[in-house]
Amino acid sequence: MVIFGVALLAICMLLGLLIGDLLGIVIGINANIGGVGLAMLILVLAVDYLQKNNKLSELAQNGIQFWSAMYIPIVVAMAANQNVAGALEGGPLAILAGLLATFLGWLLVPLLSKGKIEPALLDKNKIEPGGESDVRNIK
């Protein structure tokens, strides 16, 4: 059901843009504030909720997965293009802010992923008896 994937994607996009426009109005500027990012976040949360409650058939999940795979890279590329053009027009302070945010993001990756890696994945030399990497299982 690729159509279901398109419908859910469209609803998430409209909600994200609406919330982004409302955020722009609240802070007093005539712009959409993070609408595309909010749309992607809503899409991820909606799919997760529907999957946890067994509300999606396998065909619907395939449709959503297909459109999610198409949607996210295209939208990120479009937003990145606008951000770079805006930063170049904004001058050195905008470029410095972008570089600082990127650098801080890199620094936060180890902190945010701490404890998420299973110890077995860290030890590349470990061979479990009877496991996939056990040479005795070769037939």
Asked if residue 115 is part of any domain, the answer here is: no
Q: Does residue 55 lie within any of the structural domains?
A: yes
Whether residue 8 is contained in a domain is answered as: yes
Question: How many Å apart are CA 2 and CA 129, to the nearest integer?
Answer: 43
Residue 37: which domain range?
2-90
Find, among 53, 71, 50, 77, the residue nearest to 61 by Cα.
Answer: 50
Tell me how many domains the chain contains: 1
Q: State the DSSP H helix or E strand holding residue 104, giving kind and residue range, or none if neither.
A: helix 92-112
Domain-embedded: residue 129: no
- Per-residue model confidence (pLDDT) at position 9: 81
**How confident is the model at residue 26, as a pLDDT?**
92
Q: In this structure, is residue 76 part of a structural domain? A: yes
Residue pointed to by tokens 């159509």: 3
For the chain, residues with pLDDT lower than 70 are: 1-2, 4, 71-72, 75, 78-87, 115-139
Tokens at residue 42, please? Answer: 């809503």
Which pLDDT does position 69 carry in this prediction? Answer: 77
Q: Say what the pLDDT of residue 83 is.
A: 64
Q: Does any domain span residue 15?
A: yes
